[in-house]
């Protein structure tokens, strides 16, 4: 049995910040390995070499090099050669490897192709083959979401006949259960493995998310509340039965926040830096945000903000009515700014509201990380009325930057925001409950500045660093290894 300290951990992810990102998955894969390395573990990260990565190599980016030699990946039709590029996660010496294969990965987008299931099945198998080429045998393979579930499946079936892979413990992390990776049974012929159909799979179909849950040594979700929610019929997306069957092996570990990246005391994108002990300085960011948004510079009105992917998951169908009431002064005068892009119907909703209330709100239907910092640092209240939220990153950043969150108590939002202590929350998914909670927050903001300042201080002082979450994952790895060698 291996020691529980100094573990060799292979991270497999379809996206890793800052190299490729569409959501919170990339933030986890780009931050958690650094925190684990700080605990003394040998962590290596693998992701596909998308077109942007290969372009960076051709342009001679100094921190990206090609691994010497060539590796072949076994597939049903025959061996497929791959190249491997290598670099390090920024601000660390954690190695990251990029699987380069022109047919599957040299494309402009990460997702959205008809052969996505086969692309990521190949990537998963290639990531494992890389460890053999490096002569480095991981103690733990940590796979993230459906894209990397084929690695878990292969290790627990075909991989058991190979001494290099036999006995490797696996962790499967669920970031969003709604996206499951459905494809045809042909993918197993492609991966050269034999297995039986799961109850959750239709005849002739493979469900990669179900496979990851079924085959992994242990499973975790990205917050304790989300881990419980996905075991219910309303939150399980059709896999609640399988998750309940494995309930003893399902854990919830809250995502962390990279405090080196998100730090209001050092963020150069702010008009004025500040910390929890110097909140007066924060007002300059509010004024700068109002100027940038073309809003009247007023210190006395609450500036409410939302930064979000414009998707039904984020609670936008109950948001339009609330914002319209807010802009009509039903809770007194207020300002509002939104930053995000997504579904056309929600972009149109915010565009129309912004046009109608042009003296009080601004809608930026795009995404800008630079602008986001100023919104977090300059707004008074931050909205996240999500229908469901596996963990959530926006509320963690908002709290770190002193913008008081108003959230629906679901998933990670319930685990991070304490009503009346670090923010405000509501339970029922209705516009009326959302509105009542926002009114309550604005009332405290207006009539009791001391209480408001205490809530800001509490939120900024809360510890949601990756260091704490990394200890939880270290414990999970130890349990998985103990399970494997029991």
User: Which residues have C-beta within 8 Å of that of residue 245, sequence separation ≥ 6?
Assistant: none
Are 458 and 472 in the same domain? no
Are 410 and 291 in the same domain? yes
Are 250 and 311 in the same domain? no
**DSSP states along 383-395:** EE--S--SS-SHH
- Say if 273 falls within a structural domain: no
CA distance 398 to 128: 38
Q: Residue for token digits 């414990």?
A: 475
Residue 330 domain boundaries? 279-463
Are 447 and 478 in the same domain? no
User: How would you class 411 by CB atoms within 10 Å of its CB: exposed for 0-12, middle for 13-18, buried for 19 or more?
Assistant: buried
pLDDT at 2: 45
Q: Does 486 score more than 80 pLDDT?
A: no
Q: Does 57 score more than 80 pLDDT?
A: no
- Say if 269 falls within a structural domain: no
Are 285 and 244 in the same domain? no
Are 384 and 250 in the same domain? no
CATH of the domain at 124: 3.40.50.2000
Q: Which tens digit of pLDDT belongs to each residue from 354-369? A: 999 999 999 999 988 8
Q: Residue for token digits 């001391």?
A: 450
Are 181 and 309 in the same domain? no
Beta-bridge partner residues of 335: 303
Are 423 and 471 in the same domain? no
The closest alpha carbon to 119, from 103, 139, 141, belongs to 103
CA distance 387 to 408: 8
pLDDT at 331: 86
CA distance 282 to 402: 8
Are 404 and 477 in the same domain? no
Are 351 and 427 in the same domain? yes
Q: Which tens digit of pLDDT belongs to each residue from 97-150? A: 999 999 999 998 999 999 999 999 999 999 999 999 999 999 999 999 999 999
Q: Which tens digit of pLDDT belongs to each residue from 68-80? A: 888 999 999 999 9
SS3 for 425? Answer: strand
Are 85 and 173 in the same domain? yes
Helix extents (H) in 59-165:
102-105, 116-133, 149-156
Are 163 and 47 in the same domain? yes
Q: Does 352 score more than 50 pLDDT?
A: yes
Q: Which tens digit of pLDDT belongs to each residue from 184-230? A: 999 999 998 888 999 999 999 999 999 999 999 999 999 999 999 99
Number of domains within the chain = 2
């Amino acid at each position: 049995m291996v020691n529980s300290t100094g573990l060799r951990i292979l991270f497999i992810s379809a996206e890793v910040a800052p190299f490729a990102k569409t959501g919170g998955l990339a933030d986890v894969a780009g931050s958690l390995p650094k925190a684990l390395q700080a605990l003394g573990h040998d962590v290596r990260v693998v992701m596909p070499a998308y077109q942007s990565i290969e372009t960076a190599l051709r342009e001679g980016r100094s921190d990206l090099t090609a691994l010497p030699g060539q590796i072949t990946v076994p597939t049903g039709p025959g061996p497929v050669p791959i190249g491997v590029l290598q670099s390090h996660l920024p601000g660390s010496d954690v190695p990251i490897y990029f699987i380069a294969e022109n047919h599957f990965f040299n494309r402009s987008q990460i997702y959205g192709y008809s052969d996505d299931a086969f692309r990521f099945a190949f990537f998963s198998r290639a990531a494992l083959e890389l460890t053999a080429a490096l002569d480095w045998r991981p103690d733990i393979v940590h796979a993230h979401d459906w894209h990397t579930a084929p690695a878990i499946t292969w290790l627990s079936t075909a991989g058991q006949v190979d001494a290099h892979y036999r006995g490797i413990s696996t962790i499967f992390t669920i970031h969003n259960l709604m996206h499951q990776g459905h494809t045809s049974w042909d993918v197993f012929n492609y991966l050269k493995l034999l297995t039986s159909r799961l109850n959750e799979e239709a005849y002739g179909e493979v469900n990669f998310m179900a496979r990851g849950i079924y085959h992994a040594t242990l499973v975790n979700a990205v917050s304790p509340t989300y881990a419980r929610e996905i075991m219910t019929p309303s939150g399980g997306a059709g896999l609640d039965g399988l998750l309940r069957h494995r309930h003893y092996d399902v854990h919830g570990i809250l995502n962390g926040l990279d405090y080196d990246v998100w730090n209001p005391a050092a963020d150069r994108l702010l008009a004025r830096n500040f910390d929890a002990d110097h909140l007066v300085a924060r007002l300059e960011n509010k004024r700068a945000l109002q100027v940038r948004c073309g809003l009247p510079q007023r210190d006395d009105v609450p500036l409410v903000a939302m930064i979000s992917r414009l998707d039904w998951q984020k609670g936008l169908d109950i948001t339009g009515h609330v914002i319209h009431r807010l802009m009509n002064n039903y809770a007194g005068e207020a300002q509002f700014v939104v930053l995000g892009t997504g579904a056309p119907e929600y972009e149109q909703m915010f565009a129309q509201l912004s046009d109608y209330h042009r003296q009080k709100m601004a809608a930026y239907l795009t995404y800008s990380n630079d602008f986001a910092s100023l919104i977090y640092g300059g707004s008074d209240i931050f909205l996240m009325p999500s229908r469901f939220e596996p963990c959530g990153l926006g509320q963690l950043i908002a709290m770190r930057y002193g913008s008081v969150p108003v959230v629906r108590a679901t998933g990670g939002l319930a685990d991070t925001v304490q009503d009346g202590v670090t923010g405000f929350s509501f339970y029922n998914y209705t516009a009326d409950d959302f509105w009542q909670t926002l009114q309550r927050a604005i009332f405290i903001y207006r009539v009791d500045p001391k209480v408001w300042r205490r809530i800001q201080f509490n939120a900024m002082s809360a510890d949601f660093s990756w260091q704490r979450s990394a200890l939880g994952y270290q414990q999970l790895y130890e349990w998985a290894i103990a399970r494997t060698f029991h």
